[in-house]
Amino acid sequence: MGVNYSLENVRSLWETGITLPLSFRREQLLTLQHAIEVNEGVILDALRADLGKPPCEAYASELGFVLADIQYALKHLAAWARPQRHHTPLGLQPARSSVHPQPYGIVLIIGPWNYPFALTLSPLVSALAAGNGVCMKPSEFAPQVSAVLARLAREYFRPDILTVIEGDATVAGTLARLPFDKIFFTGSTAVGRRVLEAAAANLIPVTLELGGKSPCIVCDDADLRVAARRIAWGKFLNAGQTCVAPDHVWVQASCLRPLVEHLTATIQTFYGPNPQQSPDYSRIINLHHLQRLTAYLGQGHLECGGQHDLNDRYLAPTIMTGVPLAASIMQEEIFGPILPVLPFNTLDEVIKQVRTQPRPLALYAFTENRATQTRLLAETSSGGVCFNDTVSHILARDLPFGGIGASGMGAYHGKAGFDAFTHYRSVMTRSLHWDPGFKYPPVTTSLVAMKRIYRFLLGS
């Protein structure tokens, strides 16, 4: 499949400098806000068609999420874009030093299928705020949302400001090999590697928002009823298809049975005796992923759930125990509504287990013991950490969101999002009225004297 996109033409339009004034950037953000608000019903229908998302969940996790990003960017844009004065060493005086935020240029955003609206448009907000032109490639696995995004781009934006290219993985690969000024990718670790390889040929900076097996640790001092409610909410939101969902739970052995009972009761409270009939429960994106998930069901003891309907793309919220560490469900990112619950005896033991896995996008722990929290922060590594809740930390716009190692590269949200699409240009302006000769040849000072001069003049 070919790509009908001329990066050179778009770049020539962008290079007129139209995006540099803050007034223009605000106008684009307000246009995006208006497009979302006017087309709310169409967007919610598309999310229902692609993922079976209930309207309230879809609004809170997709539309509302992006609208909050826009409001935050509008509020802080002037401060983010302002040049910042910096110190100038004594030996370079008289001079002024500053850092000027500058848009990268034309950027490529490749979106995922699990939150096809929010995780494609949230980086768009940051890119527009930073003054870039954008080419956006939504996921083909959410075709209804992809079509809506393409239409909104055509109807509300100039093509040099925003163009949406639809298509399959071949199209995404073709785009990633073009000489964009920045690439922002959200998706799986495997595809993220391929995007990084493609970008390397043109030395394109890349932000990768990936995933991994985010562990959740429940200690014996936690309120198990509250922990179960917050774990179940984070795990079964969007039928488990959330990059920061708790992948599995480690619980202190003495609390395993009570926690499982609370989780089982919470699922019934949330979704009723038959979650397939619940208006608040989503569906699996496609048959391939549903079959991948159902293959895990025989790898442990089903405490609850496991029911599935291929025609409806449905898999019930499922709790499993007795899962061997060598099982594939404990080696691969689950990315669905199956929650293995495993016992541990000592904190040393669970920290060792967490450290055997690639560094995850998130780590969760339910404990109010400060010493335990301190140990977990010091002895584990992850993109982010949330104590006594799951998923909620991504809603704090002042917190950079991103992974580490296999779970990602770079961060965004709020100021970090503006930074992700901004080149910080260092600028020094010196005076012509004073030009001491000691730095020019021929050298008339000894090496010992030169060392002293450097320490005094440049170490200040």
Known catalytic residues are: 209, 243
Q: Angle at Cα 109 formed by Cα 105 and Cα 115, nearest 5°?
A: 150
Element (H, E) at 320: strand 318-321
**How many other CB atoms are there within 10 angstroms of residue 255's CB atom?**
19
Q: Which neighbouring-strand residues pair with 338?
A: 318
Phi-psi region of 87 (alpha: psi -120 to 50; beta: other; left: phi over 0): beta
> What is the C-alpha separation between 76 and 71, in angstroms, rounded?
9
> What is the C-alpha separation between 432 and 121, in angstroms, rounded?
48
Tokens of 186: 């959200």
Tokens of 423: 């080149």
Longest dimension (CA), the chain: 89
Phi/psi of residue 398, each to 5°?
Answer: -80, -10
CA distances from 453 to 90, 173, 428, 432, 434 (A): 11, 54, 21, 21, 18
CA atoms within 13 A on the CB side of 45: 6
Q: Are 63 and 38 in contact (CB under 8 A)?
A: no
Q: Are 314 and 284 in contact (CB under 8 A)?
A: yes
3-state SS class at 98: strand
Tokens of 358: 């690639």
3-state SS class at 354: helix
Question: Tokens 């246009």 appear where?
Answer: 31
Q: Are 155 and 177 in contact (CB under 8 A)?
A: no
